[in-house]
Amino acid sequence: MIFPIILSGGSGSRLWPVSREHYPKQFLNLHKDNRSLLQEAAERLNKWHDISAPIVVCNEEHRFLVAEQMHQIGFKGAQIVLEPCGRNTAPALALAALTAQQSNPDAEMLVMPADHVIKDEQAFVDAVTKGRELLNDGKLITFGITPNSPQTGYGYIKRGITLKSGYSVEAFVEKPDLARAESYLDSGDYLWNSGIFLFKASDYLSALAQFAPDILDVCHRAFEARNEDLNFIRVDSSIFAECRSESIDYAVMEHTQQAAVVPMNPGWSDVGAWDALHALKASADTQNGNALHGDVMLHDTHNSLIHSESRLVAAVGVDNLVIVETEDAVLVANRQSAQDTKLIVNALKAAGRKESQSHQRIYRPWGNYRTMVLTNSFQVKEIVVNPGAKLSLQMHHHRAEHWVVVKGTAKVTQGEGHGDLESLRSFILSEDQSTYIPLGTVHRLENPGVIPLHLIEVQTGSYLGEDDIVRYNDEYGRG
């Protein structure tokens, strides 16, 4: 049986400003309008019959995003392994292997990044089927993409001797310059490194014990000290923090004699930067080579990616550009320089600017909110609460709140005291109704309906920071 492992730890900085640290590209609908990249990766698993529920490894901060997106597409049995801090793919896969072994000591792990696109899913299934023929030989299999151009943004794999369903790996090669990439393409001996793997959990852990025993030791101790609640597996944060950061390529694959590669050509893209997304979507406007999203108007514009999220973007007489508009930022770049977008993100982080981390719309386990107006003494928010969801029972020391329901039904709980439910009263608000929450009042907002609840919140007070909150009760385990 295949145990699918979905790695969802990336930040997608090259796709800024659409991808942000708190809501990175794997949660975005970049390829299909009704599915995120994470959801596409999960639904790819429906091609198999002998497959378990997926194991998703993600950042602690993204746990509710993963849970909600998996729930939306019906993957209710997914196990979600939480990394207290990012330590790259070798430790992440150690945690995944230890999790899989709880069900099957020889679990076959199919490792997929959450943020890749695969257009031809049957070609992917066929390649994995070939790879499974090598598992009983103890092989650690990677899947190489047959190159169609001299890409400098990918690592390469040089194939070695022929095996019964693939090749041995002669060498892993770092991202080359253009001349070297052209020579790799001409030789026919090199494949793009996709970052997709297949191996038995026991074989991976054995290789890790041989080549990176320190990583295995830390991960094993952190996993043994884990806590589990709902579908979340929380490894011990203090122990896991001791682990060094290392990729599976450096930790294992470049050292083992058991590495094998299976070529495939499934219409793969890692959607690593805006130029990759342009290549993926340019067929939407084949006449002029443009890739468009949102409210866009063009005149004499060619070979460009133009992405609008909140307003009209017009382009006149331009060629080979990336233009990306969001509510709080605009990116304009030459398409050939799209990889350097991460340098802007690094500069934003160094300057302490929030645009590197968050969008205007902030996502929470119960829904989301967007700040519409912010001054020193008042703030106006649009709040959306998912059906059946509720915010924590809470109180604020420095602000009062006025809620106006604009769509759906709200259940409001409020009163004096310190979170004692017996002293609180609850009532229902419908559209166009409102309520006032005085400073220091215990309160909770929930959506008892079957459609999203939309309301406008007006905050007034001497301090409007998000940390002005005392939680008495929270379904999501937040302090």
CATH of the domain at 466: 2.60.120.10
**What pLDDT does 420 receive?**
62
Collect all residues with Cβ–Cβ distance below 8 Å to 346 and sequence separation of at least 6.
13
Whether 352 is covered by a domain: the verdict is no
Query: Cα–Cα distance between 421 and 473 in angstroms, integer?
Result: 10
Task: Count Cα atoms within 13 angstroms, Cβ side, for 318.
Answer: 18
Q: Are 308 and 439 in a shared domain? A: no
Last residue of one domain, picked from the residues 253, 269, 285: 269
Q: Which helix (H) or strand (E) is 229 found in, with range?
A: strand 227-229
Whether residues 174 and 64 fall in one domain: yes
d(CA 428, CA 403): 12
CATH number of domain containing 97: 3.90.550.10
Shared domain for 145 and 189, answered yes or no, is yes
- Domain of 226 in residue numbering reads as 2-269
Q: Residue 263: its pLDDT value, please? A: 97
Alpha helix locations (H) across 107-164?
Answer: 121-132
Edge-to-edge strand ranges of the sheet holding 410-415: 425-429, 410-415, 442-446, 393-395, 470-473
3-class secondary-structure state, position 84? coil
Tell me, what's the pLDDT at 153?
A: 85
**Total domain count, the chain:** 3
Domain boundary among 324, 347, 370: 347
pLDDT of residue 286: 61
**In the prediction, which pLDDT does 92 show?**
97
Residue 104 shares a structural domain with residue 221:
yes
Evaluate whether residue 29 is within a structural domain: yes
In a domain, 414, yes or no: yes
Q: Do residues 77 and 27 make contact, with C-beta atoms less than 8 angstroms apart?
A: no
Residue 28 lies in a domain: yes
pLDDT in tens, the chain (479 residues): 899 999 998 888 999 999 999 999 999 999 888 899 999 999 999 888 889 999 999 998 899 999 999 989 988 889 999 999 999 999 999 999 999 999 999 999 999 999 999 999 999 999 999 999 999 999 999 999 999 999 888 999 999 999 989 999 999 999 999 999 999 999 999 999 999 999 999 999 999 999 999 999 999 999 999 999 878 999 999 999 999 999 999 999 999 999 999 999 999 999 999 999 998 888 545 679 999 999 999 999 999 999 999 999 999 999 999 999 999 999 999 999 998 999 999 999 999 999 999 988 888 889 999 999 999 999 999 999 999 999 999 999 999 999 999 999 999 999 876 556 667 899 999 999 999 999 999 999 999 999 999 999 999 999 999 899 999 988 887 76
What pLDDT, on a 0 to 100 scale, did the predictor assign at position 50? 87
Q: Which pLDDT score, from 0 to 100, does residue 379 have?
A: 95
Question: Which of 72, 53, 65 lies closest to 21, judged by CA?
Answer: 65
pTM (2 decimals)?
A: 0.89
- Do 196 and 255 lie in a common domain? yes
CA-closest candidate to residue 169, choices 207, 142, 204: 142
